[in-house]
Amino acid sequence: MSRRAFRRVCVYCGSSPGVRPAYAEAARGLARLLAGEGIGVVYGGGDVGLMGVVADATIAAGGEVIGVIPQALLDREVGHRGLADLRVVGSMHERKALMADLADAFVALPGGVGTLEEIVEVMTWTQLGLHDKPCGLLNVSGYYDGLAAYLDHAVAEGFVRPVHREMLSVASEPWDLLERLRAWRPPGEPRWLDPAGA
């Protein structure tokens, strides 16, 4: 079975560093791995929190970085001024759409509700057949254990099909997650309405 080739991976992550040093360490590890594999990074364009860590580590490793940021956030001086490619858009909706268009896969590092919303949205797009790009969680120090448990509960309660639960790859190490994303295959014909269940 052939593995997927990625030109760029979209990385969603917190605008805060979090309380554990492991979060920033994982962000740097993912950035170095992608740069070493010749895979560019698309991210939200900030220089704060894990966003800044990802950008700085990718640049330091010689990798490509594309930042996408709304003008309103750039005006608040949270944009990364050291990027060779910083794309300024008019709204959060435009930001998410452009990031999705530029990327071949999606990874969520630890983050808050914005990070959660972003990865769930692209996962939903996969479920609906709007794209066939893999989605994954880098589950640093068990950060996403609760989300994985929620999805398992949603399957058990009949709101998520098992095949759709499997659309989200989860791993605790960057190299493992990248291999899972490369091996991932779409679930086939999309089904989101089923009178017999999820």
The torsion angle over the Cα atoms of residues 60, 134, 138 and 176, rounded to 10 degrees, is -80
Q: Residue 197 has what pLDDT?
A: 47
Per-residue pLDDT of the chain (198 residues; tens, 9 = 90+): 568 899 999 999 999 999 999 999 999 999 999 999 999 999 999 999 999 999 999 999 999 999 999 999 888 878 898 999 999 999 999 999 999 999 999 999 999 999 999 999 999 999 888 999 999 999 999 999 999 999 999 999 999 999 999 999 999 999 999 999 999 998 775 555 554 444
What pTM value is reported for the model? 0.92
Could you say which of 3.20.20.70, 3.40.50.450, 3.40.50.2300, 3.40.50.720 is the CATH number of the domain covering 8-182? Answer: 3.40.50.450
* CA 170, chain centre distance (Å): 11
Cα–Cα distance measured from residue 129 to residue 164, given in angstroms and rounded to the nearest whole number: 11
Q: Residue 104 has what pLDDT?
A: 97
